[in-house]
Amino acid sequence: MYNAKFIIPGLIIFIGLALFPFIKGAGQPELKVETEKPKEAKECVLPKEKIRDVHMVLLNEWRDDVIRNGKRVYTSENGKQYNMSLTNTCMGCHENKDKFCDKCHNEVGVNPYCWNCHNTSPVKKEGEK
């Protein structure tokens, strides 16, 4: 191969770099994020695994349904009905954004701007922190 003495070590270095995160991560304990669960509510609008995966999709759909289609009631898989509202339904149970939402978001480095407008905990009463 023409210039093999450069290309092959170059390739090896490249592959090594590309694989580095996987090599370093191997054998490490699984990443665990401890979030504060709601104290009052026992179930979410979707099963736990599902809401973990698709909460952002769900919120997008809720937003379009409420604002653009005027549809404000969400029926969950087990037939329960909810007001489609980030502020009033989600944050009504998850009182502490820092200890719930931010925990994962910080860990994976995403920064949703929902809270630039939506207030965090409507169940907080006057004077409560």
Partner 1 sequence: MQSSRRDFLKLAGVSALGLSAGTLGFLGEGARAADALPTATDFAKPSTAKRWAMVIDTAKFDDALFKKCIDACHSNHNVPEIEGKQQIKWIWTEDFEGAFPTERPAYLAEEQEHRKYLLLCNHCENPACVRVCPTKATFKNNEGLVIMDYHRCIGCRYCMAGCPYGARSFNFQDPAPHIKNINLQYPHRTRGVVEKCTFCVEKLAQGKLPLCVEASGGAMVFGDLTDPNSEVRKVLKHKYAIRRKPDVGTEPGVFYII
Footprint of partner 1 (CB under 8 A): 63, 67-68, 70, 72-74, 81-83, 85, 87-89, 92, 111, 113, 116-129
Judged by beta carbon, residue 3 or residue 69, the one nearer partner 1 is 69
Are residues 35 and 99 in contact, defined by beta-carbon separation less than 8 angstroms? yes
CB of 108 to partner 1, least distance (A): 14
Decide whether 28 or 116 has the Cβ nearer to partner 1: 116
Cβ(93)–Cβ(38) below 8 Å: yes
For residue 125, the minimal CB distance to partner 1 (Å) is 6
Neighbours of 7 (CB within 10 A): 11
For residues 33 and 103, is the Cβ–Cβ distance under 8 A?
A: yes
Least Å distance, CB 122 to partner 1, is 4
Smallest gap from Cβ 66 to partner 1, in A, equals 9
4-8 contacts: CB < 8 A, separation 24 or more?
Answer: none
**Which residue lies nearer to partner 1 by CB, 92 or 100?**
92
User: Judged by CB, which is closer to partner 1: 7, or 81?
Assistant: 81
Structure tokens at 2: 């023409």
Q: Note the residue count of the chain.
A: 129
